[in-house]
């Protein structure tokens, strides 16, 4: 009898000591952050802030790139992925991933840049020339600039020859006359002007603001969990954005931005047009991989 009473008391003590509801864990990856150490450095403050505001526990899932991320989601190893617009199109096509929250990037647009005092003074002057783009498959360095040229009347790989050259090397090639122009985003132009103040550059074409980065959910995540994640951004956007951009260099691209909880798949039709512009009509593979 005494043993039974003691056992019951022990069970009651354990029940009292344990939390009534253990926090549900969501697995989180970022496609352009390589490795766990970098992920903890860049998104550790965000993880802490999000856990506090949402009541969910966050488990980092490091990936080596966009292909690894989509494969991890397909294998049910990750629940939520922060990625770019071009990558989202593939996640959506292959897995039916759901857009949850847009991560706004202010001044996020594609440009066509030439020498300020060079022979190219308009987009029409680029016919027959070689134009360099940045990282192949990048929204703002490749697909966006190609679409900008299309919007101004130049057909990809027909009216000009596309090339892929690192930016610093591309600027030197531009100065020599080996390139007619470089496609890049606004941040990259600012960086070049800071590092190469002796090189005069100007923009002859600018695209519209690009669709934003976004947090997307695996179709296997329960709808109520997706709703809870979205609501945390809706209710605590300012605090969460502060945690994203503070004490990190890579995330400064979000500085001055907001979270957009009403983002939908249709917001990314312009990105699908970019793929079509470079000759891709099936959206289930990343460009260049």
Pair (95, 218) in one structural domain? yes
Q: Are 46 and 232 in contact (CB under 8 A)?
A: no
Q: Evaluate if residue 93 carries a pLDDT over 50.
A: yes
pTM of the model: 0.88
Pair (133, 178) in one structural domain? yes
The pLDDT assigned to 17 comes to 41
Q: Is residue 6 part of a domain?
A: no
pLDDT band at 249 (very low <50, low <70, confident <90, very high): confident
Over residues 225-253, mean pLDDT: 94
For residue 142, give every residue at least 6 positions away whose Cβ sits within 8 Å of its Cβ, in sequence order, or none.
133, 134, 135, 136, 164, 183, 278, 287
Q: Is residue 286 part of a domain?
A: no
The fraction of the chain above a pLDDT of 70, given in percent, is 92
Structure letter (DSSP) for residue 155:
P
Over residues 87-91, mean pLDDT: 97
Q: Evaluate if residue 89 carries a pLDDT over 70.
A: yes
Place of tokens 């987009």: 123
Check which CATH number belongs to the domain holding 233 and give it. Answer: 3.40.190.10
**pLDDT tens digits along 96-132:** 999 999 999 999 999 999 999 999 999 999 999 999 9
Supply φ then ψ for residue 197, to 5 degrees. Answer: -65, -15
Pair (229, 89) in one structural domain? yes
Q: Evaluate if residue 234 carries a pLDDT over 50.
A: yes
Pair (273, 152) in one structural domain? no
Question: Of 151, 180, 206, which residue sits at a domain end?
Answer: 206
Q: Is residue 4 part of a domain?
A: no
Q: Evaluate if residue 19 carries a pLDDT over 80.
A: no
Angle between helices 167-176 and 186-195 (to 10 degrees): 70
Q: Is residue 43 part of a domain?
A: yes
Q: Is residue 282 part of a domain?
A: no
Closest by CA to 98, choosing from 284, 264, 269, 259, is: 264
Q: Are 132 and 183 in contact (CB under 8 A)?
A: yes
Pair (202, 229) in one structural domain? no
Give Cα 131 distance to the centre of its chain.
24
Place of tokens 């460009």: 287
Over residues 203-215, mean pLDDT: 97
The pLDDT assigned to 288 comes to 78
3-state secondary structure of 255: coil
**pLDDT tens digits along 254-269:** 999 999 999 999 999 9
- CA separation, residue 150 to residues 86, 143, 159, 274 (Å): 17, 10, 10, 9
Over residues 6-27, mean pLDDT: 53
pLDDT band at 247 (very low <50, low <70, confident <90, very high): confident
Question: Of 151, 171, 206, which residue sits at a domain end?
Answer: 206
Pair (93, 43) in one structural domain? yes
Query: How do 25-30 and 57-60 pair as beta strands?
Result: parallel
Pair (98, 227) in one structural domain? yes
Pair (92, 228) in one structural domain? yes
Tally the domains of the chain: 2
Question: Of 148, 176, 206, which residue sits at a domain end?
Answer: 206
266: containing domain: 23-106+211-277
């Amino acid at each position: 009898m005494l043993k039974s009473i003691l056992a019951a008391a022990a069970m009651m003590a354990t029940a009292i000591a344990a939390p009534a509801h253990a926090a549900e864990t969501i697995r989180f990856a970022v496609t352009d952050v390589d490795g766990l150490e970098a992920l903890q450095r860049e998104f550790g403050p965000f993880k802490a802030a999000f856990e506090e505001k949402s009541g969910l526990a966050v488990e980092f899932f490091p990936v080596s790139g966009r292909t690894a991320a989509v494969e991890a989601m397909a294998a049910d190893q990750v629940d939520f992925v922060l990625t770019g617009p071009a990558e989202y199109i593939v996640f959506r096509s292959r897995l039916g991933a759901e857009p949850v929250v847009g991560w706004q990037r202010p001044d996020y647009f594609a440009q066509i840049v030439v020498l300020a005092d060079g022979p190219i003074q308009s987009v029409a002057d680029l016919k027959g020339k070689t134009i360099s783009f940045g990282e192949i498959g990048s929204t703002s360095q490749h697909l966006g600039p190609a679409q900008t040229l299309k919007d101004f009347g130049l057909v990809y790989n027909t009216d000009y020859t596309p090339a892929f050259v690192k930016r610093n090397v591309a600027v030197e090639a531009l100065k020599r006359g080996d390139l007619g122009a470089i496609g890049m985003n606004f941040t990259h132009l600012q960086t070049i002007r800071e590092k190469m103040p002796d090189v005069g550059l100007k923009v002859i074409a600018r695209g519209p603001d690009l669709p934003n980065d976004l947090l997307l959910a695996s179709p296997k995540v329960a709808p109520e969990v997706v709703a809870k994640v979205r609501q945390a951004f809706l209710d605590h956007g300012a605090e969460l954005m502060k945690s994203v951009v503070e004490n990190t260099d890579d995330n400064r691209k979000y500085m001055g931005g907001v979270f957009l909880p009403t983002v939908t798949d249709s917001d990314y039709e312009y990105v699908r047009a970019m793929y079509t512009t470079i000759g891709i009509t099936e959206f289930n593979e990343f460009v260049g991989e």
